[in-house]
Amino acid sequence: MESLYGILHGLAVAIQPTHLLYTLIGVFIGTMISHLPGIGPSAGIALLIPVTFGMDPITALMMLTGIYYGCMYGGAVTAILLNTPGDAAAVMTVLDGYPMARRGRAAAALAIAGVSSFIAGMIGVTCLSFVAVPLAAVALHFGPTEYFALIFFALSTVGALNGNSIAKGMMAVFMGLGLATIGIDLQSGVPRFTMGLSQLQDRVSFLVVVVGLFAIAEVSRMVEGTLGGTLHSVKVEGKLWFTKKEWRRARPAIFRGTAVGFLCGAAPGLGGTLAAMLSYVLEKKISKHPEEFGKGAVEGIAAPEAATNADTCGAFVHLLALGVPGSGATAVIMGAFIMYGIQPGPMLFHTQPDLVWGLIASMYIGNIMLLVLNLPLVGILSKILYVPPGILLCLILGIASAGVYSFNNDVFDLYLALAFGVLGYLFRKLDVPKAPLLFGLILGHTLEQSFRQALTISNGDPTVFFRSPIAAGLLLCAAVMVAASVWSKRRPVKELQQAEERIAQQRLAEEQR
C-alpha cells in the first residue's frame, strides 16, 4: 500500500505542467540521440547535464531520466534501418530487424520494436515501484561494512560480466578505482596523485570522463563508418503496423523478454547487453521455427527490445534504493544526483518523497509519450540519419566541448576530456568495456571511505567484513558471480560472435550489390 500511495503522490507531482514539459523534452532528446549510431545514453546525458545547471532538481532529473529510457526506447531505429547497432545491446535487434526491413517490412519492424518497448517499460516501472521500497527498508540496516561489501559485489559483477574478457573488465574497474583516488585525501588532507596540478585536487570530474570516454571516442566510430561506406539506410515504407499473425508470435516473446530484462537490470553489472542476448537465446531455444532467426523473425526483434527497456527500469532499483548504479547510464545520473547535493539510497524515500516518486511516475508518462513519438513520427525522426556526416560530427563535438568547458570554465578540462577520448578509442579497438571504469570512478570514493570506517570501528580487525551476515553474504555472492562468469559468458558470447559475423556478411552483400 505504501508503494501504491507513493505512485499516486508521484503522479500528482509528475503531471505538473513544467514537469510534463521537461519529461517530454527529455524523451524527445533521448529519441533523437538514439538515432545517432554510437552516441549512447551515457554520452547523451553527460552532454546535457550542464544545461540543467540552475534548474529545479526534480525537473532536471526527470529530463535526464527521460533521455536515458528515451535512448533505449528508440535504439532500434539505427539497428533496423542502418544495419548498425547504436550500442552493444542493439546487436541482437540487428539480426532480425535489418533482414525484415530489407524484405520491405521496415515499418512493421519499427512498430514491433516500439510496442515491445512500451509494454516492457510499463511493466518494468510497475515492478520498480513495488520492489524499491522493501529493498530500501532493508538497506536502512546497512553500515560501513555492509556498504563496502555491497559496492565490492557491484564492482565485481560489473568487471566480470561486462565485455568478452574478465581480465579486461577487471582492468577497467581498477583503472576507475585508481582515478577515484586522485584528489585531496579526506582523512589526511594531503593531495594524492595530482602530479602537482591544482585542477586535480578536487577529484577528476565524472562529466569530463564521460564526455571524453563516450562522446568524443564514439565520434571516431562514426567517422570510420562514413569513410568506409558501411552505413546503408533503408527507407520507411508501407503501413506502420504489423499483422495479427506477427502480433501472436511477438506477444509471448515480449513478456519473456521483459522478465529477463528486469532481472538482469536488478542484478548489478549484468546490463542491457546481456539481457538482450539472453532473451534472444531463450526465444531461439524455445521457438518452433528456429531456422527463421537471423532472417527476419518477429520474436528476434520483440524479445531483445523488451529486455533492453525492462533492464532500464531494473537498473533504477539499485540507484534509488541502495545508492548503487545498476548501469553505465545510471552511474552518470547518480553523478547528477550528487551534483545537486542529493545522495541516492534508502533515506531518499523519506527525505525526498516528491523527487523519488515523481521520478518513478514520470517514467509511466514518459513511456506513453515515447509510444506517440516513435510510432506516428518515426518516418520524420529517421530523417536525422540523412544529415551530412560532417555537419553531424561538428555538432556533436561542439556540444561536447561546450558542456565540458562550462562545468568549470577551465581549458584544462578540454585537454583532459580529449585524453579520455583517446583512451575510449583505444578501449574500443582493444575491446575493453567502458562501463566498469565509470563504475569504479563513481563508486571508488564511497568504497574507500566505507572500508576505512569499517576498519576504524573494528580497530583494524579485517574479520569485521565476515562477522556481519549481510556483508559476508554479499562477499560470497561476489565470489560466486566471478567464478560463474566464465560459464555464463559461453553461450551469450557465442551468439554475439555469430551476430557480428552475420552483420558483416550482410554488409558485404550490400556492398557487392
Q: Residue 269 pLDDT > 60, yes or no? A: no
Q: What is the mean pLDDT of residues 103-129?
A: 84
Q: What is the mean pLDDT of residues 256-270?
A: 76
Q: Residue 73 pLDDT > 70, yes or no? A: yes
Cell numbers that stand for 29 in this block:
532528446
Q: What is the mean pLDDT of residues 347-376?
A: 85
Domain boundaries, the chain: 2-512
> Of 441 and 389, which is predicted with more confidence?
441
Q: Residue 409 pLDDT > 70, yes or no? A: yes
Place 180 in a pLDDT band, splitting at 50, 70 and 90: confident
Mind listing the pLDDT tens digit for each residue in 289-330?
777 787 778 888 888 888 888 888 877 877 887 777 766 678
pLDDT value at position 387? 62
Mind listing the pLDDT tens digit for each residue in 86-101?
565 676 787 788 788 7
Mind listing the pLDDT tens digit for each residue in 184-223?
877 777 888 888 787 787 778 777 887 777 667 767 766 7
Among 51, 63, 70, 71, residue whose Cα is nearest residue 26: 63
Asked whether the CA dihedral 355, 361, 365, 366 is positive or negative, the reply is positive
Computed over every residue of the chain, the mean pLDDT equals 77
Place 183 in a pLDDT band, splitting at 50, 70 and 90: confident
pLDDT value at position 21? 92
Check if the beta carbon of residue 222 is closer than 8 Å to that of residue 38.
yes
Query: Which segment of 396-400, 415-419, 434-438 scores lowest on mean pLDDT?
Result: 396-400
Cell numbers that stand for 383 in this block:
530523417
Beta bridge partners of 183: 192
CA-only gyration radius of the chain, Å: 22
Number of H helices and number of E strands within the chain?
A: 23, 2
pLDDT value at position 40? 66
Among 272, 358, 366, residue whose Cα is nearest residue 314: 272
Q: What is the mean pLDDT of residues 347-353?
A: 81
